[in-house]
């Protein structure tokens, strides 16, 4: 791949150099968050920013999850005390995601850093981009438009719906690039076939929902090279697909961790866990933000030549809280039980209801099996932590599925 195919030189630097750079930026960023936001001033009051220079030190800081951010925003509108900007020229727009969660958009170009992902998808200066993401309430439309503008593209702000009017604009303007959900692109293409319109799309950037290989191949058969990315309204770009089609490459301006659901503890490389992201956005400096999404790190570097970490993509939701006999059981409680017993390598709580009676069984990986005394001790910990009775079953090391599940609810109610 030629150097022109990379967005900048940072994408191909040595991994050790990137790691040093990210960690070197942490102390000043944490100090900025404490000084400029009430939320982090309270949350990190006992933290010395100068000492947070390693991943281990970062992992000792608390995780802020979406559910907690929502509660903090309800108590202190609009941003829960976590934004470093106020109304005015520094805050260009404010958006509302379901919850509602409010997010500021600062005035910096390519605020959400998605230009890198669009570039990897083949978007270049001079493209006319048909942007079908929403332009109201949620930030998706603005996220894509600001990225396209940063690359020198022209944008048609199509927004959602109005398929026939969109096809009329497509026929008149002949945009060569599409941005939106993959399902809406398919709707547009199928409707175009019905009415005899031939779109000029040759490239597409999709997000917001699953993008199965079969649908990507369908687009390719129509002459459209489509790529996907993983981004959120809070963080912006997290990871993006490249021509290698081998996982998603992590953005250069975030520090990504994979942690055990319900905790802030990083998992072993390759193990499925919750995606936790630290963004270096000075306007909205979220530190150890728990996305609630599951993924896993892939080994090695991408064949495309980019050297950053890669993740497998979205693998489900990390919040596996369930209700058993009227009591909520959280992944963090299961982690608390496991921590009490070092003999347990990995655990998973299986909930089922034989005879319509709720039952909890903690599946425990051990080396060489577990004793009756250990089973009794673990069962006692389950009762103490969850206030519910649970059975204990020992299984061989490595036998539990690597899917990020801490609580597996198998109950059937029909």
150-172 tens-digit pLDDT = 999 999 999 988 999 999 999 99
For the cut 50, the answer to whether the pLDDT of residue 113 exceeds it is yes
CB 19 within 8 A of CB 56: no
- What are the tens digits of pLDDT across the range 285-321? 999 999 989 999 999 999 999 999 999 988 888 888 8
> For residues 131 and 157, what is the distance between their CA atoms, to the nearest angstrom?
5
Beta carbons within 8 Å of 37's beta carbon, 6+ residues apart: 81, 82, 83, 84, 285
- What are the tens digits of pLDDT across the range 206-238? 998 889 899 999 999 999 999 999 999 999 999
For the cut 50, the answer to whether the pLDDT of residue 2 exceeds it is no
Structure confidence at residue 380 as a pLDDT band (50, 70, 90): very high
pTM passes above 0.85: yes
For the cut 60, the answer to whether the pLDDT of residue 398 exceeds it is yes
CB 152 within 8 A of CB 200: no
> For residues 31 and 27, what is the distance between their CA atoms, to the nearest angstrom?
6
> For residues 308 and 250, what is the distance between their CA atoms, to the nearest angstrom?
6
Structure confidence at residue 102 as a pLDDT band (50, 70, 90): very high
Beta carbons within 8 Å of 326's beta carbon, 6+ residues apart: none
Both structure tokens of 338: 């496991």
- What are the tens digits of pLDDT across the range 321-359? 888 887 889 888 999 999 999 999 999 999 998 877 889
> For residues 127 and 215, what is the distance between their CA atoms, to the nearest angstrom?
23
For helices 213-221 and 182-195, what crossing angle results, to 10°?
40
> For residues 407 and 405, what is the distance between their CA atoms, to the nearest angstrom?
6
In 5-120 the beta strands, taken as DSSP E runs, fall at 64-65, 91-97, 101-106
Neighbour count for residue 365 (Cβ, 10 Å): 19
Per cent of the chain over pLDDT 90 is 86
> For residues 158 and 155, what is the distance between their CA atoms, to the nearest angstrom?
9
> For residues 1 and 288, what is the distance between their CA atoms, to the nearest angstrom?
34
pLDDT: which is higher, 252 or 330:
252
- pLDDT at residue 414, rounded to an integer: 54
For the cut 60, the answer to whether the pLDDT of residue 239 exceeds it is yes
Both structure tokens of 146: 């600001």
For the cut 50, the answer to whether the pLDDT of residue 3 exceeds it is no
Beta carbons within 8 Å of 247's beta carbon, 6+ residues apart: 298, 302, 310, 311, 312, 313
């Amino acid at each position: 791949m030629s150097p022109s195919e990379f967005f900048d030189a940072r994408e191909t630097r040595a991994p050790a150099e990137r790691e040093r750079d990210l960690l070197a930026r942490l102390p000043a960023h944490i100090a900025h968050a404490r000084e400029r936001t009430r939320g982090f001033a309270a949350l990190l009051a006992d933290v010395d920013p100068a000492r947070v220079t390693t991943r281990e030190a970062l992992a000792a800081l608390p995780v802020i999850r979406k559910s907690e951010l929502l509660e903090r925003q309800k108590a202190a509108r609009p941003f829960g005390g976590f934004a470093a900007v106020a109304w005015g020229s520094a805050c260009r727009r404010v958006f509302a995601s379901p919850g509602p969660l409010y997010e500021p958009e600062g005035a910096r170009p390519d605020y959400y850093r998605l230009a890198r992902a669009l570039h990897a998808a083949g978007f270049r200066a001079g493209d006319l981009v048909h942007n079908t993401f929403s332009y109201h309430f949620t930030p998706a439309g603005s996220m894509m438009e600001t990225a396209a503008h940063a690359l020198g593209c022209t944008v048609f702000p199509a927004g959602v719906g109005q398929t026939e009017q969109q096809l009329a604009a497509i026929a008149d303007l002949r945009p060569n690039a599409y941005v939106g959900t993959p399902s809406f692109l398919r709707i547009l293409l199928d409707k175009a076939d019905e009415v005899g319109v031939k779109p000029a799309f040759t490239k597409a950037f999709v997000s917001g929902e699953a993008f199965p290989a079969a649908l990507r191949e369908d687009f390719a058969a129509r002459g459209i090279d489509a790529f996907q990315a993983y981004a959120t309204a809070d963080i912006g770009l997290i990871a993006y697909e490249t021509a290698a089609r081998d996982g998603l490459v992590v953005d250069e301006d975030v520090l990504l961790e994979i942690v055990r659901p319900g905790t802030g503890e990083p998992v072993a490389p390759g193990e499925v866990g919750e995606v936790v992201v630290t963004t270096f956005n000075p306007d909205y400096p979220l530190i150890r933000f728990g996305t609630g999404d599951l993924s896993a790190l892939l080994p090695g570097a991408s064949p495309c030549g980019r050297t950053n970490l890669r993740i497998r993509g979205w693998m489900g939701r990390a919040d596996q809280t369930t209700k058993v006999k009227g009591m909520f059981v959280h992944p963090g409680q299961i982690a608390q039980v496991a921590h009490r017993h070092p003999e347990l390598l990995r655990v998973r709580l299986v909930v089922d209801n034989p005879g319509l009676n709720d039952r909890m069984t903690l599946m425990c990986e051990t080396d060489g099996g577990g004793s009756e005394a250990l089973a009794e001790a673990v069962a006692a910990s389950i009762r103490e932590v969850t206030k519910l009775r649970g059975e204990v079953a020992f299984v061989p090391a490595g036998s539990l599925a690597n899917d990020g599940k801490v609580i597996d609810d198998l109950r059937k109610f029909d």
